[in-house]
Amino acid sequence: MGILSNGRPLNWSEIQSVKTIFKNHALNDLILILNKHKKTHNDAFLWSDEIEYSLIRFNHENKRVQLCSKADEILKRFQQLNNDKTISELSQIIFHVEDCNFVIEGIPSKPYHSHPNNYYYVQSNMILSCNEECDCKMIYAITLNAY
Say what the pTM is: 0.55
pLDDT at 115 over 60: yes
pLDDT tens digit sequence for 50-92: 888 888 888 889 999 998 888 888 788 777 766 665 555 545 7
Give the separation between CA 141 and CA 106, rounded to whole angstroms.
Answer: 11
The alpha helices in 38-141, defined as continuous H runs, are: 71-82, 117-131
The C-alpha angle with vertex 107 and arms to 104 and 109, in degrees rounded to 5, equals 130
Closest among 83, 77, 56, 59 to 67, alpha carbons compared: 56
Q: Rg of the chain's alpha carbons, rounded to an integer?
A: 19
